[in-house]
Amino acid sequence: MKHPGKFITFEGGEGAGKSTQAELLAKRLTDKGIEVVTTREPGGTPGAELVRYLLKTGMLEPLGPFTETIMVSAARDDHLNEVIRPALEDGKWVISDRFADSTRAYQGSASGVEPEIINALERIVVGDDQPDLTLLLDLPLETGLDRAKSRAGEEGVEDDRFDRQDKNFHKNLREAFHDIAEQNPDRVVVVDAGRLKRSVSSSVWKVVQDRLLS
Ligand code: TMP
């Protein structure tokens, strides 16, 4: 076994409810006496939160998707070294709102960075520390975009770089996440996120019980 903890990630397009579901799952696990660390990407350390701000405001956009890929990977390296690996080595469970699949979908499939570059950076930065389980929260395009619009202004970012993209970008994103799920059936489970928060949370819990607690 690589480490005693468990690593769970939530992925999906804009407005899928990842952070809410991550919190609800953390509560269920904590109630079972499991020590949980919840975190997010880009973010989780002061340096990585700075990259988050630069990414979400679009300040990195003029530098192009290749630079965005380098920057989110650097943020991930810091996050893994400072937060994720130490917690897993301590036997804690780590739940991250987004991780490396987001780079593959946003910078790779939807923005055109070649898979060779994404694969190489992932190998260097993530190595063997892939998530034990990834919950892909899937939502019809329109629902996700409407939900994301109603959240505008959160985190001090009025004009989110990705909320601004056209429908085709978001359609590509959704397909990219589906491809990732198809290619990684042992790790990724698709959850229908177009339902009430409570129903989504029950589905998530069932998957976690089946895959990691049985
Ligand atoms: P969110 O957590 O509110 O979805 O915001 C994070 C944003 O960052 C989201 O638009 C997706 C984007 N992102 C990337 O473009 N690449 C990445 O590698 C990650 C982790 C996130």
| Euclidean distance between CA atoms 100 and 6, whole angstroms | 16
CB atoms within 10 A of CB 42: 28
pLDDT for 1 equals 54
Q: Measured from the CB, is residue 79 less than 6 Å from ligand 1? A: no
**Ligand 1 atom closest to residue 40's alpha carbon, by position in its atom list:** 2
| Euclidean distance between CA atoms 183 and 119, whole angstroms | 14
Q: Measured from the CB, is residue 84 less than 6 Å from ligand 1? A: no
Token pair 């939807």 is at which residue?
Answer: 110
Tens-digit pLDDT profile for the chain (214 aa)? 578 999 999 999 988 999 999 999 999 999 999 999 999 999 999 999 999 999 999 999 999 999 999 999 999 999 999 999 999 999 999 999 999 999 999 999 999 999 999 999 999 999 999 999 999 999 998 888 888 888 888 888 888 989 888 899 999 999 999 999 999 999 999 999 999 999 999 999 999 999 999 9
How many independent structural domains does the chain possess?
1
Token pair 């959850």 is at which residue?
Answer: 191
| Euclidean distance between CA atoms 198 and 188, whole angstroms | 21
Q: Measured from the CB, is residue 56 less than 6 Å from ligand 1? A: yes
pLDDT for 21 equals 98
The answer as to whether 187 is a domain residue is yes
Its domain, for residue 142, covers 7-213
pLDDT for 2 equals 78
pLDDT for 154 equals 86
Nearest alpha carbon to residue 65 among 110, 20, 24: 110
Nearest alpha carbon to residue 39 among 127, 103, 98, 113: 98
Token pair 């892939």 is at which residue?
Answer: 130
The answer as to whether 56 is a domain residue is yes
The answer as to whether 1 is a domain residue is no
pTM for the structure as a whole: 0.97
pLDDT for 169 equals 93
CATH of the domain at 33: 3.40.50.300
Looking only at the bridges linking them, the beta strands covering 133-138 and 93-97 are unpaired
The answer as to whether 143 is a domain residue is yes
The answer as to whether 110 is a domain residue is yes
Distances (CA, A) of 80 to 66, 114, 191: 21, 23, 26
The answer as to whether 51 is a domain residue is yes
CB atoms within 10 A of CB 62: 7
| Euclidean distance between CA atoms 28 and 130, whole angstroms | 23
Minimal-distance CA residue to ligand 1 atom 10: 162
Q: Measured from the CB, is residue 41 less than 6 Å from ligand 1? A: yes
Write out the H or E segment, with its range, that includes residue 94.
Answer: strand 93-97
